Every structure is written in C-alpha cells, then in structure tokens.
Structure 1
Amino acid sequence: MSNLSPEAQAQLEERRGTEGHALLWIQAKNRETGAPEALGLWSGDDHQEFLIGGEIRTYYGAGNVIDVPPIIAKPGFVVRNLRIKLPPLTDEVKTLLHAYEPRLAAVQIHSCPMDIDTGAPLGEPVRMFKGFLNQAPQEIAAKGGTGFTELVLVSAGRRLTFGLPLKRSSAELQRRNPLDRGREYSDVAGEWSIRWG
C-alpha cells in the first residue's frame, strides 16, 4: 500500500470525497542534440509545478483527455503493460513524438491527491509506476471524429529480458572459437540491397 501524507490521510478519514490526479513524467533523448530532456503531463487543467523527490517538476495540463487506467501493483518480475491515451494534437504530445526519441524513454506515473476545497496538492505525489515507453501508435480519426495517441508502457521488469550483446557479437564469438564467422556481417547485412529475379 502507498504511504499517504498526513494531510491526504486526514481528508480520506473525513469521508467528504477526494480528488486525485495522475502525473505522467517522460524522460527521452532530444533527436537533434542527443541530450536527455523531460516532459510532464498531468490530468489537471493548467500547468503546475510539483515537488517530487526533492526536485521541482513542471507538468503541463492535459485535462480529462489523458486516460490512465487503474494501476495494479504486484510483487514479482512479471513485465506489465499499461496503455495511456493522450490527445494527439497538443503541442506537448507533438514535442514528445517528434522532437524527442520516445522509444524506450523512462516513464514514471505518480498519483497526487488534491485538497477538495483549495485544489492544492496534499503532500508529495506517490509513485505508482516506473518503466519504459515501448510504443506510441497514433490513431488518426475520420472526418468529424476524435483521434488519440496511445502510449504503451512496460514496467521496469523489462530490463531483465534484455540479452547481453557481448555474447552475440562477432568479436566475442571469434574470441571463443577463431573459426566461428556466423555473425561476421550481422551489423551491416541489413543495409545490403539484393537483386531478385
């Protein structure tokens, strides 16, 4: 169970209801510079700053159009998938998909309970998910319809499925057996053009 701040716990105990928001934080490489850059989106209406882990992060408001399903936390090494829908035409989503390299970008999702009366955050947001962005397909709508961008996220357990490239390189195979030339051209074979017929 997540550790809630005393303020959030007090609001829950009053049983007046509560308002919670989802905060999506993505850290990806800039396509032009290669430097890591971060982008935050949240389910509120306007841009807001949140203190997370001693760092002040700016999140851009995506309103009710950001669709984050319930996150179920389980122990173990199972790679979990999570699908989040975003509006495709906002400037922030365009920046994420076109200015940044989204594939395998680090992703965090936090939950932030808000004060029902003032709308202010009740303590520090609680991290609910940590993983990577696996795919970002766009659904283009027909005329008069609404399109969306779907982010397919995988949990951090995905790192355990990556193979060791050292065991697959041609140099490593030849170090173990000098006659092994099975992967000699594997890094350039995909660029060869072959005539058929």
Structure 2
Amino acid sequence: MRSSFRSFLVLASAFLLGANLAKADTISVSISELASGTLGSQSFTNELVTFTGTFASQQLLACVAANSCLGSLGPGEYILSTFTDPETTTTLVTTLTVAGLGIFLANSGDNFIDIFYPGGPLTNVSIADGGDPNGHLTFPLDTTDLNLQNCLSDFPASDCPLSASTSGGTLILTAASEDYTTSTVVTPDSSSVPEPSTLALLATGTAGLSELIRRRVRSA
C-alpha cells in the first residue's frame, strides 16, 4: 500500500512538473510613434503608428541558452526574425498598426526585432528596435531619413522613400515625431497550467488516499 501511495505521489509530481515545463507564455513588445504618410492607397496625418513583435517565451529562452540569436548592440541584446531559423526556431509574428486604418501583418518575410533581455522575469524584456530591413524602415524612426534627399544620400535610389511591406499595402512615412514609447506585455499560457479546480481535486485525492493508507496501516 505504501508503494501505491508513493507511486501516486510520483505521478502527481510529474503532472505538475510537466505542466510547468510545457508553459509557453506569449511576449509582445512594441514601439509607437506619431507619424504621417500613406498605407497602400490610404493617407493619414499625425496618427499613432505601432510596430509590434510577438513571440513565445520558449523561443526566446531557447535561443538565449544556445547563444544563437545574439544581437549586435552588446550583452543581453537578441534578434528574433519572422522567418523560421532551423537552429533557433525563433519565428516572430510582426504587425504594423496605423490608428484609424487598422492592424496589418508585416509581411516582407525579413522583418526583425531587436530586444534586450538581461535575464530574470520575462517582464524584463524590452525592445531596442525593429521594422522592415528590406525597406530600411525601422522603429524608432530616424526621422532625418524620411526626407527624400537625405534618404538618397544614405541608401540606393531604389530604397527611397523608406517603406515597409504589410498586408494592407506598402507603408511609407513622410513625417514623424522624434518621441516614441515602448511596451512589453507578457500573457501567461493558461492552457499549460492546471486550473484551480484540477489542483483542488488533486489535493483532495492525495489527502483522501493518505488517510485511507493511514487507517489501514493502523488497523494492521
């Protein structure tokens, strides 16, 4: 009987540990700036433009542990991409939001996001920059390059004006504020964590089985 109880405890522990190891929180980091420009055939003036990258905590922690997604800015800086890297599997989902127009997938296939993660809680993740390297439009914006002449002096003519490919059309900014804001949102993966009712049932079952064993041992 003691062997049965011990086996039950082992199974219960494995259940809880497995749930914890399977946990994959979702992390979203974003940069927002007021800007003017065009998205496809639509124009906008002084609207909030937000670049967001979303990824799973497992993706970040795996490539951090393997030192396979290191960035170029220094210790703690990492690069996640929208394409699947067979070594790091850090697939990133990126969106561009223009207030009043909607949320659009950033779909150039080569978007990236630089993040800073010094370790510890996932809320320590912050964004360094991100955008569309194919179109040389990155956030936070280098507003001087939004000027066509400045752009032509820094990039090939085919890359000017700076742009980003999205599911809503090409995003081209003509003006932007120097100020920007960043945010990090961590959404727990509730599907991998036992619900309170499950934990309560497990605790009740453990207590009941323990009492049953105690009584049988005493009667013996």
Q: Which has the larger radius of gyration?
A: 2
Q: Is the shorter-chain TM-score for this pair beyond 0.5, marking a shared fold?
A: no
Larger RCO (CA within 8 A; separation ≥ 6) = 2
Q: Which has the higher helix share?
A: 2
TM-score normalized with structure 2 length: 0.25
Q: TM-score, normalised by structure 1?
A: 0.27
